[in-house]
């Protein structure tokens, strides 16, 4: 079973550096708690070290193009420090702002592009995708259970309540359609179904 390693510790430090000052939507929680929880989920399912590292780094390229860091620079750093296998997985689960022709994508187009690119993603990337969505959906449910004002939770998301719930269902269904039958899918299914009960 994967546990602590210098490489995992290095990935956590790298993620903490690049997500510094970022918080989870609508909360005061440091953003790095999310990739750390994704790593915990992947470790619980006994994924290998490279998958856990990719889980820790999965949002760096998408969310940390700032403070003098370009996308190309972040890609190069991840590849150099953590290996091409990790970089490939991270890129597979990174939403793009532009398509292959350079055309800008709006939110719905970014989501559709993400779902389409899962078709070419390897097993490692699909595990990261599932763990990412599992933690995010579980966090939404936990926040909904703690509040008397559900709209305060749903208002964090540009897609609103219906669009957010539909997105998680679409990711789950896409993974199923791709034949991804890993054990995590049972937990993701039940979590998506629980989220739908709040819709």
199, containing H or E segment = none
* The two three-digit tokens of residue 15, written as one number: 């993620």
Quick check: is 100 in a domain?
A: no
| pLDDT(108) > 60 | yes
Task: Give the pLDDT confidence of 162-199 residue by residue, as tens digits.
Answer: 999 999 999 999 999 999 999 999 999 999 999 999 87
Q: Is 81 in contact with 36 (CB distance < 8 Å)?
A: no
Q: What is the mean pLDDT of residues 130-141?
A: 98
Range of the domain at 158: 6-94+105-197
Is the whole-model pTM more than 0.85?
yes
Establish if 145 belongs to a structural domain.
yes
Q: Is the pLDDT of residue 71 over 70?
A: yes
- CATH number of the domain residue 25 falls in: 1.10.3210.10
- Looking at residue 151, its pLDDT comes to 95
99 within a domain of the structure (yes/no): no
State what percent of residues in the chain have pLDDT above 70.
99
DSSP state of 192: H
Burial of residue 184, with CB atoms counted within 10 A of its CB: 0-12 exposed, 13-18 middle, 19 or more buried: buried
Whether 42 maps to a domain, the answer reads yes
Task: Reduce the DSSP state of residue 76 to 3 states and report it.
Answer: helix
Report whether 52 contacts 126 (CB < 8 A). no
Residue 1: inside a domain, yes or no? no
Per-residue model confidence (pLDDT) at position 1: 53
Number of domains the chain is built from: 1
In a domain, 67, yes or no: yes
């Amino acid at each position: 079973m994967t546990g602590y390693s210098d490489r995992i510790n290095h990935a956590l430090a790298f993620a903490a550096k690049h997500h510094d000052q970022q918080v989870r939507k609508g909360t005061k929680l440091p953003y790095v708690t999310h990739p750390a929880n994704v790593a915990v989920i992947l470790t619980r399912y006994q994924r290998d070290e490279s998958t856990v590292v990719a889980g820790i780094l999965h949002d760096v390229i998408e969310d940390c193009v700032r403070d003098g860091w370009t996308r190309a620079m972040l890609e190069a750093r991840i590849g150099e420090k953590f290996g091409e296998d990790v970089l490939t997985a991270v890129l597979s689960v990174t939403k793009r702002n532009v398509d292959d022709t350079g055309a800008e994508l709006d939110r719905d187009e970014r989501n559709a592009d993400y779902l389409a690119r899962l078709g070419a993603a390897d097993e490692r990337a699909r595990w990261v995708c599932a763990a990412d969505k599992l933690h995010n959906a579980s966090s939404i449910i936990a926040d909904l259970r703690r509040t008397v004002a559900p709209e305060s939770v749903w208002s964090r998301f540009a897609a609103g309540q219906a669009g957010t719930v539909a997105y998680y269902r679409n990711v789950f269904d896409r993974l199923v359609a791709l034949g991804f039958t890993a054990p995590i899918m049972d937990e993701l299914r039940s979590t998506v179904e629980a989220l739908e009960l709040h819709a």
